[in-house]
Amino acid sequence: MAKNLKATQEDKCNGCELCTLESQRQLKKVGLEESLIRIFKGESENSYQVEIDPRVSVLDIEKIKSICPKEVFEITEND
């Protein structure tokens, strides 16, 4: 079964971008360009949006999930 990373608790995101930077490190790069996870500032002062490229599933998504300090992510399984 394929595993997917989902931001099920997006409202808890604090914008630290550790997930973005971790996904980039797994691709052996440091930077924000062509990142498979992007964090956008939301409308209100404390809100953020998490955009996940489905191709992130080829990475170590358990590690990405665990690096998030706010437990924003869940890993789901598809048949």
Contact positions toward another protein, by CB under 8 A? 14-18, 20-21, 25, 28-35, 38-41, 45-46, 48, 51, 67, 69-70
Contact present, 61 and 12 (Cβ < 8 Å): no
Report, in Å, the least distance between residue 79 CB and another protein.
32
Report, in Å, the least distance between residue 3 CB and another protein.
22
Contact present, 64 and 74 (Cβ < 8 Å): no
Report, in Å, the least distance between residue 58 CB and another protein.
18
